[in-house]
């Protein structure tokens, strides 16, 4: 029996709900020492085989020297033609989010990690294409920034699956998006 692949956001936010400063800076997050177990990310990685990036998140990662794990598919969503050259293992997709997500779910594989940022999360959410959110709330306010989900009027009920507290004060909330 095959179960449908889930699309899951697994992301960290500041205590006031931002994923990055207005200029994309995530030093407030990346400079924190992580406790043993790294917030369950190694286990989570075993459940996915595809990562989806908004174009801005991809470019921020490139600028900051992040290397991409080529053991997973890495797909960047953009509405523009892809750049002339992209690092090995990166695919650009310009298809609309809804049909793209349906097509991806229809192929064999593990779950899919929607990495962010807020723009692409908003687009997937509004197409009903996010199954779960795992949100690690960092005990720091940053005052202003890029929100977890690009703002617009919404009402999206969530079912809390678990809440886990780590020794450094991070709280990880695992929600299922209720299909309406
Ligand atoms: N805290 C964390 O754990 C975390 C995780 C991930 C990202 N981030 C941070 O988030 C920041 C970027 O977030 P962001 O919200 O500005 O950008 P984003 O979501 O990463 O990228 C937005 C881009 O996605 C593309 N896109 C394709 N289809 C779209 C659609 N239907 N609707 C909207 N966008 C679509 C567009 O690219 P084109 O303009 O090319 O068309 C759009 O400009 C970065 O600084 C990154 O470091 C933080």
Full DSSP string of 25-82: --HHHHTSPPPTTGGGHHHHHHTEEEEEEEHHHHHHHHHTTPPP-TTSEEEEE-SSPP
Report the distance separating Cα 180 and Cα 177, nearest Å: 9
Half-sphere exposure (Cβ direction) of 80: Cα atoms closer than 13 Å: 6
81 CA distance to ligand 1 middle (Å): 16
84-104 pLDDT tens trace: 988 999 999 999 999 999 999
Q: 100: closest CA among 81, 85, 79?
A: 79
User: What was the pLDDT predicted at 2?
Assistant: 56
167 CA distance to ligand 1 middle (Å): 30
1 CA distance to ligand 1 middle (Å): 35
Question: Which of 86-90, 123-127, 146-150 is least confident?
Answer: 86-90
Helices (runs of H) and strands (runs of E) counted in the chain? 5, 10
2-15 pLDDT tens trace: 578 999 999 999 99
User: Which amino acid residue places its CA nearest to atom 38 of ligand 1?
Assistant: 78
What percent of the chain shows pLDDT beyond 70?
98
Domains (range + CATH), the chain: 7-177 (3.40.430.10)
147 CA distance to ligand 1 middle (Å): 11
Average pLDDT, integer, range 151-158: 98
C-beta of 20 in contact with ligand 1 (< 6 A):
yes
Report the distance separating Cα 96 and Cα 137, nearest Å: 30
C-beta of 55 in contact with ligand 1 (< 6 A):
yes
C-beta of 9 in contact with ligand 1 (< 6 A):
no
**Residue, of 147 and 66, whose pLDDT is higher:** 147
User: What was the pLDDT predicted at 81?
Assistant: 92
Whether the CB-CB separation of 97 and 115 falls below 8 Å is answered with no
User: What was the pLDDT predicted at 180?
Assistant: 76
Question: Which of 66-70, 102-106, 154-158 is least confident?
Answer: 66-70
Which residues lie below 8 Å from residue 22, measured CB to CB, with a gap of 6+?
144, 145, 146
58 CA distance to ligand 1 middle (Å): 8
Whether the CB-CB separation of 8 and 134 falls below 8 Å is answered with yes
**pTM for the predicted model, two decimal places:** 0.97
Mean pLDDT taken over the chain: 96
pLDDT beyond 60 at 1: no
Q: Which tokens sit at 69?
A: 């794990």
Q: Which tokens sit at 54?
A: 């908004």
What percent of the chain shows pLDDT beyond 90?
91
Hey, which of 27, 30, 55, 135 would you mutate to test ligand 1's pocket, going by the most ligand atoms within 8 Å of its Cβ?
A: 55
């Amino acid at each position: 029996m095959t179960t449908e692949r889930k699309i899951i956001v697994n992301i960290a936010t500041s205590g006031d709900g931002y994923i990055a400063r207005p200029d994309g800076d995530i030093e407030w997050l990346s400079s924190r020492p992580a406790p043993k177990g790294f917030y369950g990310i190694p286990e989570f990685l075993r459940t996915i085989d595809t990562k989806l990036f908004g174009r801005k998140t991809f470019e921020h990662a490139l600028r900051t020297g992040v290397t991409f794990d080529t053991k997973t598919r890495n797909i960047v969503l953009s509405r523009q033609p892809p750049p002339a050259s992209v690092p090995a293992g990166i695919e650009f997709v310009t298809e609309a989010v809804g049909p793209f997500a349906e097509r991806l779910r229809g192929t064999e594989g593990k779950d899919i990690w929607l990495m962010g940022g807020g723009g692409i999360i908003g687009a997937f959410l509004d197409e009903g294409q996010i199954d779960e959110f795992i949100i690690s709330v960092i005990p720091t306010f940053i005052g202003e920034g890029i929100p977890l989900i690009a703002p617009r009027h919404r009402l999206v009920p969530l079912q809390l699956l678990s809440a886990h507290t780590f020794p450094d004060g991070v709280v990880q909330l695992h929600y299922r998006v209720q299909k309406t």
